[in-house]
Amino acid sequence: MKKELKVAGHCMGQALRHPRTPIVLDNPGVTVSPIPWWGSLAVIIVGIASWVLGVQWSITGLDEAGHALVYLPLSNLFGLASHVGKM
C-alpha cells in the first residue's frame, strides 16, 4: 500500500509541475493514457453540467451521457482499468 501511495504522489507531483509531459511509470507492462489529467478534469466538469441539466429538464439521454462523462474519466484520472462491453 505504501508503494502505491508513493507512486501516486510522485505522479501527481509530476503532473502538477509539468502538465503537458506524459507520466512514465517504472512498470514496463503498464501503459499510460494519452489523455492528460487536466483533460480528464475538463470532461468531468462537462459531465457534471450535462448530468444536472439532464435531471432538471428530464432528458434521459443527457442524464445518461452525464453519468458516462463523469465516471469514465475518473478511471483514467486514477489509473484504473475501464471496460465498456456489450450487454
In three-state secondary structure terms, 50 is helix
DSSP state letter for 37: H
> Domain spans of the chain?
1-32, 35-87
Q: Residue 14: its pLDDT value, please? A: 75
pTM here?
0.52
pLDDT, the chain, mean: 74
Residues of the chain with pLDDT under 50: 82, 86-87
Residue 35's nearest CA partner among 85, 77, 68 is 77
Question: What does the pLDDT read at residue 42?
Answer: 87
**pLDDT digits 0-9 by tens, 42-54:** 888 999 999 999 9
Which pLDDT score, from 0 to 100, does residue 80 have? 55
